[in-house]
Amino acid sequence: MAVTPGKHLANVIESVSVKCRNKLSDKILIKFCETWRAVLAEFISTLLLVLLGCLSCVPIQGLAYQPPLYAPLGFGFVVLFNIQAFAHISGAHMNPSVTLAAILWGKMSIGLGIAYMIAQCVGSILGYGILIALSPYDLITDGICTTQHHSALTVYQALAVEVILTAALNFLNCALWDPKNEKSLESVALKFGFTIAGLSIAGGPLTGCSMNPARSLGPAVWTGVWAAHWIYWVGPFLGGSLSAIFYKYVWLNNKDDDM
In a domain, 211, yes or no: yes
In sequence order, the 6+-apart residues with CB closer than 8 A to the CB of 200 are: 71, 72, 75, 76, 209
Number of domains observed in the structure of the chain:
1
Give the integer Cα–Cα distance in Å for 218 and 128: 6
Residues spanned by the domain of 187: 34-251
CA distance 176 to 170: 10
Inside any domain, residue 214: yes
CA distance 240 to 53: 21
Q: Which of 18-22, 71-75, 114-118, 195-199 has the lowest mean pLDDT?
A: 18-22
In sign, the C-alpha dihedral spanning 144, 147, 150, 155 is negative
Cα end-to-end distance, the chain, whole Å: 70
Q: What is the pTM of this model?
A: 0.86
8 lies in a domain?
no
pLDDT digits (tens, 9 = 90+) for 161-173: 999 999 999 999 9
In this structure, is residue 4 part of a structural domain?
no
The arithmetic mean of pLDDT across residues 56-73, rounded, is 86
- Give the pLDDT confidence score for residue 186 in this predicted structure: 80
| pLDDT of 181 | 85
Neighbours of 52 (CB within 10 A): 18
Q: How many CB atoms lie within 10 A of CB 21?
A: 10
Q: How confident is the model at residue 258 (pLDDT cuts 50, 70, 90)?
A: very low
pLDDT of 184 > 80? The answer is no
In a domain, 256, yes or no: no
| 258 contact partners, CB below 8 Å, separation of at least 6 | none
- Would 18 be classed as within a structural domain? no
Q: For residue 182, what pLDDT band results from cuts at 50, 70 and 90? A: confident
In a domain, 193, yes or no: yes
Fill in the DSSP letter of residue 32.
Answer: H
pLDDT band at 185 (very low <50, low <70, confident <90, very high): confident
Read off the pLDDT of residues 22-32 as tens digits, 9 standing for 90 and up: 555 656 667 77
User: Is pLDDT of 259 > 50?
Assistant: no
At residue 66, the pLDDT reads: 80
User: Residue 228: is it exposed, middle or buried by C-beta count within 10 angstroms (0-12/13-18/19+)?
Assistant: middle
- 220, part of any domain: yes
Cα–Cα distance for residue pair 240/173, rounded to 1 Å: 10
- Helices 231-246 and 155-177 cross at an angle (nearest 10°) of 40
Report the alpha-carbon distance of residue 129 to residue 220 in Å, rounded.
Answer: 11
CATH number for position 113? 1.20.1080.10
Compute the distance between CA of residue 221 and CA of residue 190 in angstroms, rounded to an integer.
Answer: 31
Closest by CA position to 47, among listed 114, 115, 144, 131: 131
Radius of gyration of the chain (CA): 23
